Amino acid sequence: MVLEPHFETERDKYNCENWFDWKIVLEYQHQLSYYAYSLLEDSVTFGERIKQLRTQRNLTQRELADKVGINFTYLSKIENDKLQADQFPREDTIKKFAEALKADEEELLLLARRIPESIKQRVIDRPDAFRKVASLDNDTLDELLRQIDKKNE
């Protein structure tokens, strides 16, 4: 399946000079989304994490919904995992959740299967590097991550 942007301006937003670069960005975003989701699969869901954070902050669903600017029934659906992946909140709403709950924005974005802007921008800046990383098998990728962690110690 070939993914193409809905609007020419969307491609421009990511500063892609040609359709090949745009396709790489889309493919990597899809792979990263799948990889991030699989990493988080064994942990809590987006809805469970929102509920954990809300109860830790002693907020009711109505209070949090008001802070985020959504209907409390939608929040209830989020917390009870009654949404399909395509019904998850938009990125700006997830950022409002992070702010209202004093939570890690990137964690919430990844749990909601969204790619944080900082990661998107890095992919756009260095498609050559991410193309190579995306082609690695899991064992090689794990070894690469160990080497990076060792270097950063």
Segment-wise mean pLDDT, segments of 10 residues, the chain, 153 residues? 44 50 56 50 82 95 97 95 85 95 92 86 88 88 87 83
Nearest Cα residue to 119 out of 14, 11, 22, 1: 14
Backbone dihedral region of 59: left (phi > 0), alpha (psi from -120 to 50 degrees) or beta? beta
Handedness of CA 96, 102, 103, 105 (dihedral sign): positive
The rounded distance, in Å, linking the Cα atoms of 59 and 62 is 8
pLDDT at residue 24 in the model: 58
Q: Which two tokens stand for residue 114?
A: 């969204």
Query: Would you kindly state where each structural domain of the chain is located, as residue ranges?
Result: 10-41+117-152, 46-111
Element (H, E) at 120: helix 117-125
pLDDT at residue 94 in the model: 95
Q: Could you name the CATH architecture of 46-111? A: Orthogonal Bundle (1.10)
The rounded distance, in Å, linking the Cα atoms of 48 and 52 is 6
The pTM is what? 0.62
